[in-house]
Amino acid sequence: MNNIKEFFKTSSERVETFLESYITNSSLFTSGLNEGMRYSLFAGGKRLRPALVYASYSLFKDDYDYVTPFAAAIEVIHTYSLIHDDLPAMDNDDMRRGKPSNHKAFGEAEAILAGDALLTKAFEIMSDTSYSPQMPVDIRLKAIYKLARAAGDKGMVGGQFADITSEGRKPTIELVDYIHKNKTSALIECAIYLGAVAAEAKENEIDNLIAFGKYTGLAFQVVDDILDITSTSEVLGKNVQKDIESNKATYPAVYSLEGAKQKADEYINKALYHLDIFGERADILRDIASFITERNS
């Protein structure tokens, strides 16, 4: 797994270098906004989604800088979603990645606006042709459309809506499936898509990679649910056992802890199946899938 650690590290570095220079401030009236955006962007996340963009891209090409705007944009979307999810009206989380959550550090209105600004920024980055100017415009447009679909009311936001509005009610399998598919898996699937479409992969290849992304995303969220029960707040850098307290719709809640672990394995196996056509060159994606199921934070 040294290989995978190295891959995550270089992925992070590429994306952080890009964001470091891209997320600038131009007015003294918005320095607090810029500070809030950067606070959450550079809070030491795992950069899983960018790593997936690069990993997917690596099956076809190796000029990684070319796809960096896409990797950065999806991380920016992910970051906005964490800021808004943590808000008092939503999950009301005081801690994130071992630090005060954005609204705790900057105030609630400021956190809402930092989230809005980041969400908008993702589409600015995606449509900014001064980066990777040689990218065909139709590829860029397809990527923007997919990202908007994955992040919106029929993707991530829809999943979060279903999640918060179902709290306190007895969760069903249908509900848990809907939440996991949309709240988490949609964006992970999109990350895989972005790498593949930037590399101009064939339709059949893209279809298999999307399926890999979908099941990997589901496995990721099941493991997240399991860790909320079995891990500690020191390891996770956020409060634990909140899901049970608020009667959240999770896999362990509908399948039991043991059933959830089996479900995670099932999803990973389905994910790996869709990599078969790529042979050894998909090893980095296999390693990331293992990393996701075996992680402890």
The answer to whether 17 contacts its own copies (rule: CB under 8 A) is no
* Residue matched to tokens 């999307």: 210
* CA within 13 Å, CB half, 191: 31
Q: How many residues bind its own copies (CB under 8 A)?
A: 55
Instruction: Examine residue 32 and tell whether it contacts its own copies (CB under 8 A).
Output: yes
**Min dist. Cβ of residue 147 to its own copies (A):** 8
In whole angstroms, how close is the CB of 118 to its own copies at the nearest point?
8
Q: Which residue number, 121 or 274, has a Cβ lying nearer to its own copies?
A: 121
- The angle at the Cα of 158, spanning 120 to 233, to the nearest 5 degrees, equals 85
**204: which residues sit within 8 A by CB, 6+ positions away?**
277
Asked if residue 212 lies in contact with residue 72, where contact means CB atoms within 8 angstroms, the answer is no
Q: Counting contacts by CB under 8 A, is residue 108 touching its own copies?
A: yes
> Site residues for its own copies, window 166-195 (CB under 8 A)?
166, 175, 178-179
Pick the closer one to its own copies by CB: 43 or 175.
175
Pairing outcome for strands 95-96 and 99-100: antiparallel
100 SS3 class: strand
Closer of 169 and 202 to its own copies (Cβ): 169
Q: How far is the CB of 37 from its own copies (least distance, A)?
A: 7
- The two tokens of residue 7 are 């891959």
| Residue 95 φ then ψ, to 5° | -120, 145
Q: Please tell me whether residue 294 binds its own copies under the rule CB under 8 A.
A: no
Shortest Cβ distance from residue 113 to its own copies (Å)? 5
Decide: 194 and 146 in contact? Cβ < 8 Å.
Answer: yes
Q: Closest CB to its own copies among 30 and 239? A: 30
Q: Are 286 and 275 in contact (CB under 8 A)?
A: yes
69 binds its own copies (CB under 8 A): no
Positions 112 through 131 that interact with its own copies (CB under 8 A): 112-113, 115-117, 119-121, 123-124, 126-129
List the one residue out of 115, 128, 14 whose CA is nearest residue 72.
Answer: 14
d(CA 190, CA 186): 6
Q: Which residues make beta-bridge pairs with 99?
A: 96
Does 202 contact its own copies by CB under 8 A? Answer: no
15 binds its own copies (CB under 8 A): no
Selected from 4, 16, 22, 34, the binder of its own copies by CB under 8 A is: 34
Give 19: exposed, middle or buried? Use CB within 10 Å, 0-12, 13-18, 19+: buried
The answer to the question of residue 27 lying near its own copies (CB under 8 A) is yes
Return the structure tokens found at 17: 């270098």
**What does the binding site for its own copies look like in residue numbers (CB under 8 A)?**
25-27, 29-30, 32-34, 37, 84, 87, 89-90, 107-110, 112-113, 115-117, 119-121, 123-124, 126-129, 137-138, 140-141, 144-145, 147-149, 151-154, 157-158, 160-162, 164-166, 175, 178-179
